[in-house]
Amino acid sequence: MERLLNSHNIWESAIVIIGAALLAFFRKRLYWLLINLKGRLSFKIEFEDERSKILGLKNHDIFRTIERVRIITSKHRFYHGDGFDVTKSAMFSDFMGFKLDAISRHFSILISKAAYAEDMEELKGLCFDAVTVATKNYLNKTKIHFLEAGISNKDADYVIDLFERWRLETITSVQNRINSVFSSKYHSNKYENLLAVLELISMAIDLIPKDGIGAFNSFNGKFKNIKYNK
């Protein structure tokens, strides 16, 4: 009996010794494993926090700016020598409506996609895509609408091209500033970069009435005798 107890104690001692040896051998690896897990957990928490902040930009002032500009442009009236220019006023209101709709839609999409962007380069590409796709979208919708309203293909292109020439300086400045935002060291994460871009676009939206009214004023009564079937 005593021999069995001694044998049992020997096995316990052996297990303890082996366990201690294994723990000593793997201690450093275990330490770095725990540090790595802690780092990953911390990164995940920070990533989720930034994602939540980016999605919160769906409440950014850019969307209120869009609606404010929509009111301004929808109420603007043009006049020629004979009085109120019904056609130009209606075309302007529709044009601005399509433009503002496209900006609102595609920048809302941008915010949703930005929350899952892998890095700054992808986010930058998404920002430029939003500008490009929004522009193509409202130009296509405007032309189709003008044609359906009785404006000739030539005149529809004339209106669209003239407006785009008036907006060229603003759009070029916005694109240059987006590049500057992403090359700057003042913005440390995706949220701050996207916030800066939305501020830039808000400024450009504020200039839409000025550019649009200037472009349409330059028509000089070109469409006053055209029937516009809005």
pLDDT digits (tens, 9 = 90+) for 152-184: 999 899 889 989 888 888 889 999 999 999 998
Could you tell me if 142 and 186 are in contact, meaning their C-beta atoms sit under 8 angstroms apart?
no
Decide: 130 and 110 in contact? Cβ < 8 Å: yes
Work out the pLDDT band at 25, boundaries 50, 70, 90. Answer: low
- pLDDT tier at 3, thresholds 50, 70, 90: very low
How many whole angstroms separate alpha carbon 107 and alpha carbon 58?
9
* Residue 26 in this model has a pLDDT that exceeds 70: no
pLDDT in tens, 94-113: 999 999 999 999 999 999 99
What pLDDT, on a 0 to 100 scale, did the predictor assign at position 188? 83
Q: pLDDT band for 21, please (50, 70, 90 cuts).
A: low
Distance CA 99, CA 134 (A): 8
d(CA 201, CA 73): 17
Tell me: pLDDT of 129 over 80. yes
Higher pLDDT, 56 or 229: 56
pLDDT score, position 6:
47
**Cβ atoms of residues 190 and 227 within 8 Å:** no
* Dist. CA 183–CA 193, nearest whole Å: 10
Share of residues in the chain with pLDDT > 90 (%): 57
Per-residue pLDDT at 18:
60
Tell me how far the alpha carbon of residue 136 is from its chain's centroid.
Answer: 16
DSSP letter for each residue of the chain: -HHHHHHHHHHHHHHHHHHHHHHHHHHHHHHHHHHHHHHHHHHHHHHHHHHHHHHGGGGSTHHHHHHHHHHHHHH---EETTEE-HHHHHHHHHHHHHHHHHHHHHHHHHHHHHTT-SSHHHHHHHHHHHHHHHHHHHHHHHHHHHHHTT--HHHHHHHHHHHHHHHHHHHHHHHHHHHHHHH-SS--SHHHHHHHHHHHHHHHHHTHHHHHHHHHHTTTTTTTTS----
What is the average pLDDT score of the chain?
83
Burial 15-42 (b: 16+ CB within 10 A, else e): eeeeeeeeeeeeeeeeeeeeeeeeeeee
Q: Is residue 16 over pLDDT 90?
A: no
Q: Per-residue pLDDT for 70 more than 90?
A: yes
Give residue 24's pLDDT: 58
Q: What is the mean pLDDT of residues 37-50?
A: 56
The number of angstroms, rounded, from the C-alpha of 112 to the middle of its chain's C-alpha atoms is: 8
Per-residue pLDDT for 4 more than 50?
no
- What is the C-alpha to C-alpha distance for residues 215 and 95, in angstroms, rounded to an integer? 12
